[in-house]
């Protein structure tokens, strides 16, 4: 069984500050890990994904995440927040090598960015 825990339902940062959104997962098999973003009144958009290989993954809009197996974590970071980053962010896990497996999502973290 797999699960995802996102620590902090709401994170507030100032424009230009570091963004850190936390995600821990539980999986009995090697996981595929994802971060999705949902802007207000829009659908989910993939930010980045980890499947195999390099543990530091770069995504769109300057975001990156690092897979740390020892910590069962996949935290999302961005060095400098922009006002346009305000959105809801979801971490998700699926099972490695199972094509088409449904994603298991965390409950989401709302990011607010102030000027």
Partner 1 sequence: GAGVSQSPSNKVTEKGKDVELRCDPISGHTALYWYRQSLGQGLEFLIYFQGNSAPDKSGLPSDRFSAERTGGSVSTLTIQRTQQEDSAVYLCASSPLRDIGEQYFGPGTRLTVT
CB of 56 to partner 1, least distance (A): 19
Residue 3 near partner 1 by CB under 8 A? no
Residue 107 near partner 1 by CB under 8 A? yes
Q: Provide the sign of the torsion angle of the four alpha carbons 97, 71, 67, 18, taken in this order.
A: positive
**Strand runs labelled E in 15-107:** 19-26, 31-38, 44-50, 56-58, 64-68, 73-78, 87-95, 104-105
55 vs 98, which CB is nearer to partner 1? 98
73 vs 94, which CB is nearer to partner 1? 94
- Determine the interface stretch with partner 1 among 15-23, 54-62, 72-80, 104-112 (rule: CB under 8 A): 104-112
Q: How many other β-carbons are positioned within 10 Å of the β-carbon of residue 59? A: 17
Residue 45 near partner 1 by CB under 8 A? yes
């Amino acid at each position: 069984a797999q699960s995802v825990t996102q620590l902090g339902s709401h994170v507030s940062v100032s424009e230009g500050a570091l963004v850190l959104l936390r995600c821990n997962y539980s999986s009995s098999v090697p996981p595929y890990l994802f971060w999705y973003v949902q802007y207000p009144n829009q659908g989910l958009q993939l930010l980045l994904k980890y499947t195999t290989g390099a543990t530091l993954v770069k995504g769109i809009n300057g975001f990156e995440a690092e897979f740390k197996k020892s910590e069962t974590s996949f935290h999302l970071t961005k060095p400098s927040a922009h006002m346009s980053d305000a959105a809801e962010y979801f971490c998700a896990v699926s099972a490695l090598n199972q094509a088409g497996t449904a994603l298991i999502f965390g409950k989401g973290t709302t990011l607010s960015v102030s000027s």
